[in-house]
Amino acid sequence: MKVLVPVKRVVDANVKVRVKPDGSGVDLANVKMSINPFDEIAVEEAVRLKEHGAATEVIVVSIGSPAAEDAIRTALAIGADRGLLLQHDCELEPLAVAKALKQIVVEEAPGLVILGKQAIDYDCDQTGQMLAGLMGWPQATFASKVAIEGDRAVVTREVDAGHQTLSLRLPAIITADLRLNEPRYVSLPNIMKAKKKPVDKRPLASLGVNVAPRLSVLKFADPPHRKAGVKVASAQDLVKNLKQLGVLA
């Protein structure tokens, strides 16, 4: 069984993002970029499935500029077998990404697609669900545990009330949550091996998918600064302050 894992190159999670002075977007100049953390978890899970004999090949796919190959190479260093880069220089909405991934799924015919539940840049949390809808496949989101049992994937997912266990007939779509696993440390020998693994590159336009944006971003802005807190000496002072703020009548 093939496992397909889409990955995205995003601003590193430890970097504090800055908005451009004109409000047209996020300033990416000289900013460290990394593989999306949730996608890294998805890659790790796919590699573990292969190591346990539940999968035969792990394929990673990314959409972006040539620089997005870095995210693919990271996934290959974790243990994926080969990569595919769909070259495109503009931002894409989740539906456009899902449409492109559908073409790759049809082409590669994987038994399982594992995605990060969301990318940390826009936090849309939509692509996996849209891909499942386009393919007509069963889906399990926010997965915290995955097991392959015959022709089914048994997935434990986190919900507001606790945990829910689903049994999905393969092929299926799964989105990875933080507690699914902890990605392994990538050693230098594996980084060197990843450089020799194949990465196919082709323009996104070659898929014949309409990726024109449906939304227009009017402006980016920093969140408002929070005011400093106030210490009070007693509960009576607390109630008095809350009334002055209009929180209490």
Which domains, from first to last, does the chain contain? 2-245 (3.40.50.620)
CB contact set of 192 (below 8 Å; sequence gap of 6+)? none
Q: What is the mean pLDDT of residues 169-173?
A: 96
Q: What is the mean pLDDT of residues 174-202?
A: 94
- Indicate the pLDDT class of residue 200, thresholds 50, 70 and 90: very high
Cβ–Cβ < 8 Å for 170, 151: yes
pTM for this predicted structure: 0.86
Q: What is the mean pLDDT of residues 235-242?
A: 90
Q: Answer whether residue 157 shows pLDDT above 80.
A: yes
- Terminal-residue alpha carbon distance, the chain: 63
Q: Answer whether residue 171 shows pLDDT above 90.
A: yes
Q: What is the mean pLDDT of residues 213-238?
A: 87
- Indicate the pLDDT class of residue 206, thresholds 50, 70 and 90: very high
Counts for the chain of helices (H) and strands (E), in that order: 6, 11
Nearest to 139 by CA among 130, 148, 147: 130
Report d(CA 97, CA 205) in Å as an integer: 12
- Look-up: residue for tokens 């007693």? 234
CB contact set of 209 (below 8 Å; sequence gap of 6+)? 96, 99, 100, 103
- Indicate the pLDDT class of residue 159, thresholds 50, 70 and 90: confident
Instruction: At 1, list the tokens.
Output: 């069984």
Nearest to 174 by CA among 213, 227, 129, 229: 129
Instruction: At 5, list the tokens.
Output: 């894992």
Chain mean pLDDT for the chain: 93
Nearest to 36 by CA among 121, 105, 107: 121
Instruction: At 173, list the tokens.
Output: 């779509």
Report d(CA 245, CA 249) in Å as an integer: 10
Q: From residue 170, how far is each of 21, 138, 139, 183 by CA, in Å?
A: 48, 8, 10, 24
Model pLDDT, residue 219: 87
- Least confidently predicted of 6-10, 12-16, 175-179: 12-16
Model pLDDT, residue 127: 95
